[in-house]
Amino acid sequence: MTTDLSKYDVNQLPGADVLARQRYAIVVADWNSEITYAMAQGAVDTFLKHGVQADNIDLIHVPGTVELTYGAARIMKEERIDAVIVIGCVIQGETPHFDYVCQSVTQGVATLNAQGKVPVIFSVLTVLNQQQALDRCGGKLGNKGVEGAYTAIRMANL
């Protein structure tokens, strides 16, 4: 059974009047850009759809998934942000590198969230192959970036 990850209950979101005053950051890895850029666009489109002003959405590019934690920490320190989404895609290969990258970004985001300053939303795909990633960045399983924006809005308004 496949589930579209982009379906959510719009009634759980605040109104556009609230969202128009909020700021969000999306930190996106350039590695696997075919996937990550589609996810970032899904997040931006979702924010705009619900009333976040375009000028209140910061898009920050970092080289790869490991660098997402630093990018998120930096933007949280430099600007008033209501929530941050980190977007990356790690596709398993033949070496343990996959495990180290996934562990690094997961621990980094958990550490930032434990600080309790700003919610950091984990929109990092950790998949076995390219097709699984394509299915989750606008394919048959929706767009994980859309889900990330929805989650960011909910957490910013907790």
Point out the residues that are catalytic. 97
> CA 71, CA 128: separation in Å to the nearest integer?
25
CA atoms within 13 A on the CB side of 37: 6
Closest of 128, 154, 147 to residue 40, by C-alpha: 147
The rounded distance, in Å, linking the Cα atoms of 147 and 7 is 8
Q: Are 110 and 72 in contact (CB under 8 A)?
A: no
